[in-house]
Amino acid sequence: MTSPTPATSPATRRKRDTSIDSLAGVLIMVVVFGHAIEPLSGQFAETAAQWVFMFHMPAFVFVSGYVTRYSSKWAPGRTVLKLAFPYVIFTLLHGWIASALTGDPFSVDFLTPSWTLWYLVALAAWRLSAPLLRSTWWVVPALAVAGILLGTVAGLGRELSLERIVCFAPFFAAGLMWNDKWWVKIRTWPMRVAAVAALAAALVWSWMSEQTVIRSIFFMSESYEDIGQYNGEGMLQRTGVLIAGALLTLALLSLSGGSNRMLASVGAATLPVYLLHPLVLYPAHLDDYSIGWPESIMIVALVVFSVVFSYVASRPFVVRLTRPIMDYTFWRDLVRR
């Protein structure tokens, strides 16, 4: 997910902050954890889910934008093929698993991304529009305003994840335009103290508001009417979600900077982790975990699962083993032999 695509010179590419790979490794583990606890509904789980949803996708999208800018060239055809291939394969796999677990007839809808697959569609859209997204800083607030207004369009639905593409696009654009000179400024000790305070405040707020805030406001995938809100209320909440996402993303960037070989290796292979973990978690999303463990034990167990699964799924042997269902170049190279 964080591999490069559009556009700078090799000299510039060598100057990329490699510690971002370790941050990507942490974030993909958080993404897995966020999806793993979705079926839980207790107070601790709701708090953890709400806290994670406040920053994990904004930060992950930012990192995707950041590494995209360090590619050698803009290649629309390759970008589409690279992301469309796993999208088709995993849409079919999601449909097959759902049918096997529920007994319903097999069916898929390629225009409505299944669960986590929206990100492949969004990533393709963002990378294809990268030259425009990085043209001026006004793109970031303009996209944020567009995302807020888009929520007023009732019945837009989830076709091609249009609403999410627009709402999360400001974070991708910010990653594209990030200046590496800013790392020094945001990684000072005062900034890091403020970053810890911001993340702690978000956790406290999540604990205090978990009974009144619905998770779907963080997904930004439906209109305000679809989630039972008036336009004014929805616009205010979405504005808050975007601001919180931006501040907490900056907090995570401030706390980054260290380089850990294990985390960096996970961060270098986020695509297999992202695509494979829903296949494991799909049964729980359809029928809960149903194992009767206390909520606190489940949360600890899912933290361990998220770390271990992310590590295993990012290992070279797993990447090689799953390449035929994730990388179209496997079949292209096979045909050319």
pLDDT of residue 307 exceeding 90, the answer is: yes
How much is the pLDDT for 18? Answer: 76
How much is the pLDDT for 159? Answer: 77
Q: Whole-number mean pLDDT of the chain?
A: 91
pLDDT of residue 66 exceeding 50, the answer is: yes
In which band, very low, low, confident or very high, does the pLDDT at 7 lie, cut at 50, 70 and 90? very low
Residue-wise pLDDT for 137-185, tens only, equals: 999 999 999 999 999 998 776 778 899 999 999 999 999 999 999 999 9
Percentage of the residues of the chain whose pLDDT score is greater than 90: 77
Q: Once rounded to an integer, what is the mean pLDDT over residues 120-134?
A: 94
In which band, very low, low, confident or very high, does the pLDDT at 127 lie, cut at 50, 70 and 90? very high
Cis peptide bond upstream of 264, omega within 30:
no
How much is the pLDDT for 157? Answer: 61
CA-CA distance, 38 to 291, in Å (whole number)?
15
How much is the pLDDT for 155? Answer: 72
pLDDT of residue 9 exceeding 50, the answer is: no
How much is the pLDDT for 270? Answer: 95
At a CB cut-off of 8 Å and minimum separation 6, what does 44 contact? 295, 296, 299
CA-CA distance, 266 to 252, in Å (whole number)?
17
pLDDT of residue 4 exceeding 80, the answer is: no
pLDDT of residue 14 exceeding 60, the answer is: no
Q: Once rounded to an integer, what is the mean pLDDT over residues 317-322?
A: 96
In which band, very low, low, confident or very high, does the pLDDT at 238 lie, cut at 50, 70 and 90? very high
In which band, very low, low, confident or very high, does the pLDDT at 72 lie, cut at 50, 70 and 90? low
Bigger pLDDT: 73 vs 203? 203
Alpha-carbon distances of 224 from 106, 132, 166, 194, 209, rounded to whole Å: 31, 28, 15, 32, 19
How much is the pLDDT for 6? Answer: 39
Q: Once rounded to an integer, what is the mean pLDDT over residues 105-110?
A: 93
Q: Once rounded to an integer, what is the mean pLDDT over residues 87-114?
A: 94
pLDDT of residue 11 exceeding 60, the answer is: no
Residue-wise pLDDT for 262-292, tens only, equals: 999 999 999 999 999 999 999 998 888 878 8
Q: Once rounded to an integer, what is the mean pLDDT over residues 195-216?
A: 94
How much is the pLDDT for 15? Answer: 62
CA-CA distance, 13 to 15, in Å (whole number)?
5
Please check whether residue 148 is in contact with residue 238, taking contact to mean a CB–CB distance below 8 angstroms.
yes
What global pTM score does this model have?
A: 0.92
